[in-house]
């Protein structure tokens, strides 16, 4: 793809088995640095397994994963996270009995107390997600679904990350909350001080994908069957129908 940035993350022929099940069947995927890449596909295509395999939560059976040119597929999850790769799972992974403040502090590996947190970065996150400031001392389990999703993303971004993996952030959210989340993710994509954050985002909502994506990879049956620019897929209804079984026009 012309004009594409160098790859920050690259999967080459990745196979993943979960127990007796062969889920990924040779995934080839390139995530350019500084871009937001959408990972799309029907239910069961292997999108979540791909994210979990990148994070080392599922082990690579065959193939390799490279981050910034270095192989990471044999590393344990904590070492992958220490490369400044953050993962927001579909279930959000927040601690419901802890407050918003405690959740953020726990996610900040370099901070031992609240005083160690980067207050400028916190203010930036509060600008993206004002509810987090309002409910700073509330147990996270009492937040609404949208507020929990905002906390999950803020936890991933409480310290600078080179790569952010997010699994279906808008699932089950009301349209107004989805619009707010799109705006926040657009700002995260731009980054602070003009430094763009690299994001790999799994999403079922095609309108969200169109609004956010720079590039796109479409999965089917454990493989990437299409890769290109998101704008091109958004304009090609026949390709949408063939790859995803939908057309954008029907969802407007």
Residue 251, pLDDT score:
45
Q: 101 near 136, Cβ under 8 Å? A: yes
| Cβ count near 45 (within 10 Å) | 23
pLDDT tens string, the chain, 252 residues long: the values are: 445 678 999 999 999 999 999 999 999 999 999 999 999 999 999 999 999 999 999 999 999 999 999 999 999 999 999 999 999 999 888 999 999 999 999 888 777 777 778 888 899 999 999 999 999 999 999 999 999 999 999 999 998 899 999 999 999 899 999 999 999 999 888 876 556 789 999 998 999 999 999 999 999 999 999 999 999 999 999 999 998 887 554 444
- pTM recorded for the entire structure: 0.92
Based on the fold, state whether residues 155 and 167 are members of the same structural domain.
Answer: no
Residue 10 in tokens: 């690259």
Residue 246 in tokens: 């939908």
Based on the fold, state whether residues 145 and 211 are members of the same structural domain.
Answer: no
Residue 2 lies in a domain: no
Burial class (CB in 10 A: 0-12, 13-18, 19+), 25: middle
Q: In what order do the strands lie in the sheet with 85-88?
A: 85-88, 163-167, 198-202, 36-41, 215-220, 223-229
Residue 119, pLDDT score:
87
- Residue 89 sits at φ, ψ, to 5 deg, of -75, 165
Based on the fold, state whether residues 169 and 247 are members of the same structural domain.
Answer: yes
Q: Which segments of 97-168 does DSSP mark as H helices, in order?
A: 100-107, 119-128, 130-134, 145-157
Count of the separate structural domains present in the chain: 2
Residue 197, pLDDT score:
86
Based on the fold, state whether residues 181 and 246 are members of the same structural domain.
Answer: yes
Based on the fold, state whether residues 154 and 167 are members of the same structural domain.
Answer: no
Spell 234-243 as b/e; 16+ CB within 10 A means b: beeeebbeeb
Residue 193, pLDDT score:
56
Residue 231, pLDDT score:
95
Q: How far apart are CA 250 and CA 207, in angstroms?
A: 11
Residue 111, pLDDT score:
74
Q: 108 near 159, Cβ under 8 Å? A: yes
Based on the fold, state whether residues 167 and 244 are members of the same structural domain.
Answer: yes
Domain that holds residue 154: 94-159
Based on the fold, state whether residues 73 and 189 are members of the same structural domain.
Answer: yes
Q: How far apart are CA 189 and CA 208, in angstroms?
A: 14
Based on the fold, state whether residues 170 and 71 are members of the same structural domain.
Answer: yes
Based on the fold, state whether residues 80 and 167 are members of the same structural domain.
Answer: yes
Based on the fold, state whether residues 155 and 180 are members of the same structural domain.
Answer: no
Based on the fold, state whether residues 155 and 166 are members of the same structural domain.
Answer: no
């Amino acid at each position: 793809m012309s004009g594409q940035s160098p790859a920050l993350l690259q999967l080459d022929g990745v196979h993943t088995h979960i127990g007796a099940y062969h889920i990924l069947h040779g995934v080839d995927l390139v995530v350019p640095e500084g871009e937001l890449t959408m990972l799309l596909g029907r239910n069961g295509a292997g999108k979540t397994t791909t994210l979990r395999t990148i994070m080392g939560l599922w082990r690579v059976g065959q193939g390799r994963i490279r981050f910034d040119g270095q192989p990471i597929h044999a590393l344990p999850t904590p070492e992958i996270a220490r490369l400044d790769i953050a993962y927001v799972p579909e279930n959000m992974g927040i601690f419901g009995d802890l407050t918003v403040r405690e959740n953020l502090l726990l996610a900040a590996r370099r901070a031992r107390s609240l005083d160690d947190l980067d207050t400028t970065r916190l203010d930036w996150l509060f600008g993206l997600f004002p509810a987090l400031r309002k409910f700073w001392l509330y147990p996270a389990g009492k937040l609404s679904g949208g507020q929990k999703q905002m906390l999950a993303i803020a936890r991933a971004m409480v310290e600078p990350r080179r790569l952010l993996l997010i699994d279906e952030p808008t699932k089950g959210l009301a349209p107004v909350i989805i619009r707010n989340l799109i705006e926040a993710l657009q700002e995260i994509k731009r980054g602070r001080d003009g430094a763009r954050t690299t994001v790999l985002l799994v999403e079922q909502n095609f309108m969200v994908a169109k609004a956010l994506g720079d590039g796109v990879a479409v999965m089917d049956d454990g493989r990437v069957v299409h890769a290109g620019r998101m704008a091109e897929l958004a304009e090609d209804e026949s390709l949408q129908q063939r790859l995803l079984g939908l057309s954008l026009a029907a969802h407007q």
